[in-house]
Amino acid sequence: MKFSPLFALLAAGVLASSVAHAQTTMKISISTAQNSHQGIAIDTFAKEVEKRTAGRYKVQTFYNGSLGGERESIEAVQLGTQELAFSSSGPVPNFVPETKILDVPFLFRDKAHARAVLDGPVGQDLLRAFDSKGFKALAWAENGFRHMTNSKRSVQKPEDLKGLKMRTMENPVHIAAYKSFGIITTPMAFPEVFTALQQGTVDGQENPLSVIISAKFDQVQKHLSLTGHVYSPAIFVMNKAAFDKLPAADKQAFLDAAKEGTKANRARVDEDDAKGVAELRAKGMTVVDTLDKSAFVKALTPVNAEFEKQFGKANIDRIRNAK
């Protein structure tokens, strides 16, 4: 059989176009629903990666912990069985201990303060701490200020927390702090929390309004107190080897896509914070929005002294006093 020159030309064309469209598929996952501040983060990221690489990379998005909880997804990224994950800071210190300092209660005045620190030298240094652990941290994003909910009683002052059995993240700093409120802490992966609240395995939990709303915790929790006791960052992490083998321009595309994801994510947190309380009240929760925060800060004095020892008072103050 003899190939005509036209056939050869066509075949070459097919080959060239398939090379141009060779597509690498990657996975990214979150624990929360698609319709959430985290869903919008990874949806925006996926869209931006595709756009900025002319479709050479496709990022498949997974929601609701369908690939596992946050600890499992970070583990998978470290091992390289999953390229990407988006996670709250919850389990992150178990992989990159330097990040623990961000989980100190009442460290940040407000979201603007937290965002400025994460986008500034402290946050950027911390992103680099992931490098030696098998990750490329692409960008900080946001989970939000955490508030307490429970099914037992209205929490107005720190004493009201004594004896409440609360689910916590698998985060050593949170656990130490909540214990010193007198809370009975039960660390648990996020995908199990709704059922645990529903079945009464725990009385309560704490999360930002964005999470409380998107996870429909109002269906299984009566009381919400706007404690804002800790700010919860979130992060885009990628397997280090997968990132390192990208050509330089594509590396930049992934970094820029993560920045866009963060922008969309923060905007959604602002939206959720603005309308969240009214929405949750309308759904039947009772909300304590006028508590004396200084009493909660004071209750943590002993454990704060421990944190200052552990992380260095100067390091904590550098964050606290950042403008």
**What whole-number distance in Å separates Cα of residue 227 and Cα of residue 149?**
10
Closest contact distance (angstroms) between CB of 193 and ligand EAX is 7
How many residues touch ligand EAX (CB under 6 A)?
A: 11
Taking the least distance from each CB to ligand EAX, the nearer of 148 and 299 is 148
**What whole-number distance in Å separates Cα of residue 243 and Cα of residue 251?**
7
Helices (runs of H) and strands (runs of E) counted in the chain? 13, 9
Taking the least distance from each CB to ligand EAX, the nearer of 46 and 211 is 211
Closest contact distance (angstroms) between CB of 31 and ligand EAX is 4
Element spanning 171, H or E: none
- Between the alpha carbon of residue 313 and those of residues 98, 105, 107, 190, 226, the distances in Å are 14, 14, 12, 31, 27
Closest contact distance (angstroms) between CB of 258 and ligand EAX is 16
Among 53, 82, 88, 150, binds ligand EAX (CB under 6 A): 88
Closest contact distance (angstroms) between CB of 192 and ligand EAX is 10
Among 39, 68, 90, 276, binds ligand EAX (CB under 6 A): 90
Closest contact distance (angstroms) between CB of 96 and ligand EAX is 17
31 binds ligand EAX (CB under 6 A): yes
Residues within window 208-237 making contact with ligand EAX, judged by CB under 6 A: 211, 232
Closest contact distance (angstroms) between CB of 88 and ligand EAX is 3
Contacts of 80 (CB under 8 A, 6+ apart): 134, 239, 241, 242
95 binds ligand EAX (CB under 6 A): no
141 binds ligand EAX (CB under 6 A): no
Question: Phi, psi at residue 54, to the nearest 5°?
Answer: 50, 40
Closest contact distance (angstroms) between CB of 30 and ligand EAX is 7
Contacts of 319 (CB under 8 A, 6+ apart): 101, 102, 107, 108, 117, 122
First to last CA, the chain: 76
Among 190, 231, 254, 296, binds ligand EAX (CB under 6 A): 190
Taking the least distance from each CB to ligand EAX, the nearer of 31 and 227 is 31
Residue 137, Ramachandran bin (φ over 0: left; ψ between -120 and 50: alpha; else beta): beta
Binding residues for ligand EAX, per CB under 6 A? Answer: 31-32, 70, 88, 90, 143, 169, 190, 207, 211, 232
